[in-house]
Amino acid sequence: MISGFYGSAYKDDEAVKAPALTKLKEGLEALDKFLAENGTTFVCGDQPGFTDYMIWPHLERVGAFVPDYVSQFVKVKVFFDAMGEDEAVRKCRWSDEVHLKFFEATKKRNVDYDGLS
């Protein structure tokens, strides 16, 4: 999922983006399947754990760039929404607008880190 996301996020050429987006979807499908087989909301069980917090920042970015990808997978969407309600996540979560602004600025190699929030 992660390499598929970054393989597409910084690319403008659709021919380059397409296989990366396929890889991203395959990763989301694998996460969805894992969550379904375990019968839990989170990778680590009924409460978020280390692995959940390591996945979250990338999934947060996926949600900002291709939100329809997250909603295509029922268990991933439940995970996404539940992580978004977690107190630690709420305290440091960026808005979709800030994510999009950051990626556009990095593509131009002109990031105003102080002006992001």
Task: State the pLDDT at residue 13.
Answer: 86
Task: Please return the burial class of 27, using the count of CB atoms within 10 Å of its CB with bins 0-12, 13-18 and 19+.
Answer: buried
Q: What does the pLDDT look like over 72-108, one tens digit per residue?
A: 999 999 999 999 999 999 999 988 999 888 888 888 8
Better pLDDT: 6 or 71: 71
Separation between Cα atoms, residue 33 and residue 25, nearest integer Å? 12
Residues 39-66 have pLDDT tens digits of: 999 999 999 999 999 999 999 999 999 9
Distance between CA atoms of 61 and 58, rounded to whole angstroms? 5
pLDDT value of position 48 = 98
What own/partner pairs with CB < 8 Å and gap ≥ 24 does 3-10 have?
A: 5/58, 5/61, 5/62, 5/65, 9/61, 9/65, 9/103, 10/103, 10/106, 10/107
pTM for the predicted model, two decimal places: 0.88
Q: What pLDDT does 12 receive?
A: 80
Query: Where in the chain are the domains?
Result: 2-115
Please give the pLDDT value at position 81.
Answer: 97
Q: Which residue has the tokens 């105003």?
A: 112
> Residue 63: its pLDDT value, please?
94
CA distance 29 to 1: 9
Confidence of residue 117 (pLDDT cuts 50, 70, 90): low
CATH number of 2-115: 1.20.1050.10
